[in-house]
Structure 1
Amino acid sequence: MLTGSIVALVTPFTEQGNVDYGALEELVNWHVEQGTDAIVAMGTTGESPTMSHDEHIMVVSAVCELAAGRIRVIAGNGSNATAEAVYLTERMAHLPLAGYLNVNPYYNKPSMRGLLEHYRACCSASDLPQLLYNVPGRTGADLKPEQVAELAEIPNIVGIKEATGDVDRVAELRTRCGSNFILLSGDDPTGCEFMLAGGNGVISVTANVMPAQMKEMVTAACAGNAERAREIDAQMQSVHAAMFVQANPIPVKWALGCMGKLAPNYRLPMTAPELPQQQHIEQTLKQAGLISAEHE
């Protein structure tokens, strides 16, 4: 099942701009140790729009190899060009994946017919399960619950990462798509309430820096233990906010750099956060106990 606490994993880079596979190995091992349920490799947080097709496939392959069956791996396979999404899906179909995360085609703003044909083409390229990814702030298009229900009729579309932050959608999506359709929050600040309303987990940016806490919160929320889930979530809210002071994944990579998990290198057009944002992120990490008070 593609449920639980799923991290939208960053992609570490060297100072020269290459993938830092040593740091990637350490991140994968850390998430296994911390109890994360699954990894999304080469999603937006992984800076997939800046990667070549070969790099994209090499990173997903490496994560699968490093995971070695210890943790499920979900591959980002989306693109605004259907042919590219199909190509990526086919190229990764041989890997030991739990499924794909397929973002709504961005920039093009296709019609509903276009969306249906896009997803049908992607799903015909592999029998593996696929999750829709609705993130209007990135794609310029919002998949409404009635449209999700239509797409859910495609056999291997098994769920959605819903990143609008609209918790009210959970009930409608559940009614329209059925009890077996997987509902995952893609909005960390509202993720707890999303699950308490009937969601099945999260695909989280914050899980990059607080994997054990996110796992504990998700477990409590999915079990209906609202008091415990909200208690843990309240402790993470300041970190949720800090992870979005600039466009993702700028803040989370800076945070991981402060924590000594990677060198905070980016691919243009992403750059390091501005000094006030750096200071805010570092202060938030100190207050959350993620780095020492003496950290500079």
Structure 2
Amino acid sequence: MAIFEGAGVALVTPMNEDLSVNYNKLEEILEEQIAGGTDAIISCGTTGEASTLTVEEHLDVIKKTIDIVNKRIPVVAGTGSNSTETAIEFSKEAKKYGADGVLVVSPYYNKATQNGLIKHFSSIAQAIDIPVILYNIPGRTGVNIEPDTIAYLVNNVENIVGVKEASGNFSNAIKTLRLCPQIDMYSGNDDQVVALMSIGAKGVISVLSNVAPRQTHEMCKAALDGDIFKARKMQIEALDVIINLFTEVNPIPVKAAMNLQGKNVGPLRLPLTQMEKAHEEVLAKAMKEYGIL
């Protein structure tokens, strides 16, 4: 059984003006997500600025998220690292806190071989007894988790159950589903949700959900219910907002968008910087036209 089906939000990590983590705001946006129908929370992923959180902050955000959500919907903890031992330790802690699963990105910078990926992910999964979702995002990591590798892991490691597919390569996604049809695949790109769900994906791990939780949930629900015409219409309607959520590197635009909505999730840590004014103006226009501003 999948950890979740539908729209999982890749949640931002709100900051105070002094760049400390704003835990009061974290609770507020978590409650908004649950009220908005979001199907799962993904804590400390790319959108959550995990790469600039300290080890203590990373684990604390995961723990507080799990405690606040309190089993109302699943929480998947981002525990990936380019160090296998670090990823194992993060994953063990997340399991101890009560995470429903972990999201583990492929090692970045050191760019493991496919054999190295198999050993990396297997070592992490075998250290815990909760579900593991692989995160394939070669644009950030420099390495693609090939369909044969994903299939080997899913077919041979019991608790590796899914993949967040953000490569944009539909041919590889189809091959993966053919090689291991039992896999829980999630779109990692908000502009490709319905397309991937039409070939068997279970939903999305979404940036868009931060600013449009109800719409993203309903789009996925329509696809899961087999109403592809409704889902397709909703995907197209969201396109301009989605495009403008990625005119600068994530999560710069989504934090700008949430601040435009009055959510006050604060600034970003360097090397991420405030969104350029011209881009923000176009984003605001798209949000108004979509009805979320």
Give TM class, smaller chain.
over 0.9
Q: Which amino acid aligns with 1:230?
A: R
1:171 — aligned with what?
Answer: 174
Distance 1:263 1:93 in 2: 27
Q: Which amino acid aligns with 1:31?
A: Q
Decide whether the 8 Å contact of 1:199 with 1:222 is kept in 2: no
Which residue of 175, 195, 198 maps to 2:197?
Answer: 195
1:146 aligned to 2:148?
yes
Deviation at 1:106, TM superposition (A): 0.6
Decide whether the 8 Å contact of 1:132 with 1:159 is kept in 2: yes
Distance 2:266 2:163 in 1: 30
1:252 — aligned with what?
Answer: 254
- Aligned-residue sequence identity (percent) comes to 38
Task: Could you list the structure 1 runs, at least 4 aligned residues long, displaced by more than 4 angstroms after superposition.
Answer: none
Give the 3-state SS of the residue equivalent to 2:97 in structure 1: coil
Q: Which amino acid aligns with 1:83?
A: E
RMSD: 1.1
Which residue of 58, 63, 66 maps to 1:64?
Answer: 66
Which residue of 164, 172, 186 maps to 1:161?
Answer: 164
Which residue of 92, 95, 100 maps to 1:93?
Answer: 95
Which residue of 44, 47, 55 maps to 1:45?
Answer: 47
Unmatched segments (≥5 aa) in structure 1: 292-296
- Which moved further from structure 2: 116-125 or 21-30? 116-125
Decide whether the 8 Å contact of 2:79 with 2:104 is kept in 1: yes
Distance 2:170 2:116 in 1: 27
Q: Which amino acid aligns with 2:270?
A: L
Change (3 A) 1:101 1:228: same
1:82 — aligned with what?
Answer: 84
Q: Which amino acid aligns with 1:203?
A: I
1:129 — aligned with what?
Answer: 131
1:29 — aligned with what?
Answer: 31
Q: Which amino acid aligns with 2:15?
A: F
Give the 3-state SS of the residue equivalent to 2:238 in structure 1: helix
Deviation at 1:170, TM superposition (A): 3.4
Distance 2:171 2:11 in 1: 27
1:294 — aligned with what?
Answer: none
Deviation at 1:262, TM superposition (A): 2.1
1:120 — aligned with what?
Answer: 122
Deviation at 1:248, TM superposition (A): 0.3
Distance 1:167 1:216 in 2: 23
Change (3 A) 1:42 1:97: same
Decide whether the 8 Å contact of 1:196 with 1:221 is kept in 2: yes
Deviation at 1:273, TM superposition (A): 0.8
Decide whether the 8 Å contact of 1:170 with 1:199 is kept in 2: no
**1:185-264, aligned counterparts within 5 Å?**
185-264=187-266
- Cα deviation 1:16-75 (Å, max 9, x = unaligned): 111111111111101111111100000010000001111001000111111011111000
- Cα deviation 1:171-216 (Å, max 9, x = unaligned): 32111012x2101100111111110121111001011111000000
Decide whether the 8 Å contact of 1:167 with 1:197 is kept in 2: no
Distance 2:172 2:228 in 1: 19
Distance 2:15 2:252 in 1: 13
Decide whether the 8 Å contact of 2:114 with 2:146 is kept in 1: no
Deviation at 1:234, TM superposition (A): 1.3
Decide whether the 8 Å contact of 1:220 with 1:229 is kept in 2: yes
Give the 3-state SS of the residue equivalent to 1:94 in structure 2: helix
Deviation at 1:272, TM superposition (A): 0.6
- Report the TM-score, using the length of structure 1 for normalisation: 0.95
Deviation at 1:249, TM superposition (A): 0.3
How many residues are matched? 290
Distance 2:194 2:224 in 1: 9
Distance 2:68 2:262 in 1: 20
Q: Which amino acid aligns with 1:164?
A: S
Decide whether the 8 Å contact of 1:183 with 1:200 is kept in 2: yes
Distance 1:105 1:129 in 2: 19
Give the 3-state SS of the residue equivalent to 1:46 in structure 2: coil
